[in-house]
Amino acid sequence: MSKPVAVVTGASSGIGAASAKALAGAGFEVVLGARRLDRLEEVAEACGGRALELDVTDQTSVDAFTDAIDRCHLLVNNAGGAVGAETILEAKDEDWQWMYETNVMGTLRVTRALLPKLLESGDGQVINIGSVAGREPYATGGGYNAAKHAVAALSRVLRLEMFGQPIRVCEIDPGLVQTDFSLVRFRGDQDKADAVYEGTNPLTAEDVAETVSWVATRPPHVNVDQILLLARDQTSARVINRSE
C-alpha cells in the first residue's frame, strides 16, 4: 500500500526541517518546499523526501510546486517568520508586507491549491504553524502579531468551512523555539538573535516537530483544533524565565 503524502512548507530549516524528518519517521512520504534548494535537498536526503523549490509569496512558484504533487494527505503550512521589531510609530511597510505575504498569503496560496487533493485523499489534514504572537499582542511585535492573528483566523475559518468534509484543521502555536527565526527577524544580527534565548531553556524545533507528528497521526475522527506549546520557562509572549 502506498504511504500517505505530507507536504511541508519552509522545510529547509528549523521547525519545518524537523517536522519533515518526524513525519517521514511516522510513515509519511514527505514533499518539502522552500526557497533555499541546497539546504532543502540536504533535509530531503536525510528523510528520504522530495525537495521542490517554493516561494510562498509568488503565485507562479506555488502553482509549479502544487502541480508537481499528485497526492496529498497532510499539509503543514510552516513557511513564515518575522522581520523587524519596531513600534507601530516606526513600522516599516516593507517589513509588514513581508510578514503578511509570507505567513498569511503564503498559507492561503498553498492551502487553496492543495485543498482539492486533500479532499480527494478522503482523509486530509491541514496543520498551520501559528505562534503565541497570534494569541497575544506585545509591544514591538505589531507586524508579526497582525500576521499570526490572521493565520489564526484563517485556520478557524477553514475548520468551519470544512465542516462535514473529510478534512481536519489544526493550529499549533509555539512560543520561544531556538531556530534561525530570531536571526531572520534581526536581519542577520547574531548577537541580537542570541540575546533572545540567553539564560533560558526554550523549545527546540524537534519539540514542535513531535507535536506536529502527534497531531498528524491521530485517528481520522479526532481533530486537534488548537495547541499552545510553550517552554516551561515561558508563561506568555514576554514572560520568560532567564535565571539559568
Q: Which residues are catalytic?
A: 144
Torsion sign, CA atoms 69, 37, 213, 14: negative
**What minimum distance in Å lies between the beta carbon of 71 and ligand NAP?**
21
Residues listed for the chain: 244
Q: Which of 179, 211, 213, 234 binds ligand NAP (CB under 6 A)?
A: 179
Q: Which of 20, 24, 28, 55 binds ligand NAP (CB under 6 A)?
A: 55
Ranges within 81-140 binding ligand NAP (CB under 6 A): 81, 102-103, 129, 131
Smaller CB separation from ligand NAP, 162 or 237: 237
3 state SS of 132 = helix
What the block records as the C-alpha cell of 189 is 544580527
**Distance between CA atoms of residues 102 and 82, nearest Å:** 9
**Distance between CA atoms of residues 153 and 162, nearest Å:** 14
**Distance between CA atoms of residues 236 and 98, nearest Å:** 25
**What minimum distance in Å lies between the beta carbon of 2 and ligand NAP?**
27
State which residue has the least CB distance to ligand NAP: 14
Q: What 8-state DSSP symbol labels residue 2?
A: P
Stretch that binds ligand NAP, among 9-17, 86-94, 114-122, 214-222 (CB under 6 A): 9-17
Phi/psi of residue 117, each to 5°?
Answer: -75, -35
Q: Pattern of binders to ligand NAP over 14-53, x per CB under 6 A?
A: xxx-----------------xxx-----------------
What the block records as the C-alpha cell of 41 is 535537498
**Distance between CA atoms of residues 182 and 179, nearest Å:** 7
Is 231 a binding residue for ligand NAP by CB under 6 A? The answer is no
- Give the footprint of ligand NAP on this chain (CB under 6 A): 9-10, 12-16, 34-36, 54-57, 78-81, 102-103, 129, 131, 174, 176-177, 179-181, 184, 205
